[in-house]
Structure 1
């Protein structure tokens, strides 16, 4: 009984230490994923209107057979560039991916197709930029996950400093010409109704 208790206690302590240690560090991940996106550097896209194509494959020169077997899921994400993170703690970059807030928008997530010598795992996905994406400067990053949902590798469309090949997305303003026209017509109708009631009330008193 004592030995079982000690084993259980050790397991609890190990889990506690792992929890305190944090998540996977980006700096420790191999950059085995090759990622590209259709926006040109400096291009401005409209949220809720424009689309972008994201492509990814695997760098066969650095991908090991063990890594190839470990990857189970691929997720491409839209990430804030440093210029759009200044003074915004809710977008802050952390090397510890369990705390990182750089990549908040999922573009696509799908099962990993094992890479082979012909790079048959190369994939592309066309994404309509969602209306909720805020105005900012972005890049695209992809992660490979194992069966436990832990990050095992990554790749991105920009350099290590995240200053190259960036593009901008502008969110919808929430105001459209049709809405403004409708609002104007409603206001005019309300004003006319008010005057009509006023004159009707005045005529009734006479």
Structure 2
């Protein structure tokens, strides 16, 4: 794990000033970095809320407990990124790749994960209320104990997903999803069928 260089630290400090000046005399500068390489960085303790980081490389970075609320992370790559207990409320992670990421206990309320790849991601106990996961790939994704109230899931693909103990499955919004369990693929059509399947899955311990 690496520490940010002086140039990035300066930009992070300016971003903090910008956040603190909202509604006051403007100072600092919003963090805007296109295709930034933040891989392997230890960013714990920095405030990245409202940052603009499209296509950022977050592979193997430590963002545990970091505030990323309302951050723009469209098409970001986050292989094995640590987002434990991070605040991603209303963040935009459309088309992001979060393969094998650790997102336990994270706040993902109204996050946009449309068309995201969550293969092998661990979202145990995450708060996904009213999040958008339409068109996403959830291959062996762990959602144990997650709050799925109002979650949007249309056209997503769920392969051997662990939903044990997840709550809010009876409020999920989706017209069609594809589920694969033990190599058996099934297309579920209609919100009632989808909710029934998800509720059943949440009541059974998953064997991996």
TM-score, with length taken from structure 1: 0.20
The structure where helix makes up a greater share of residues is 1
The structure where strand makes up a greater share of residues is 1
Structure with higher RCO (Cα < 8 A, 6+ apart): 1
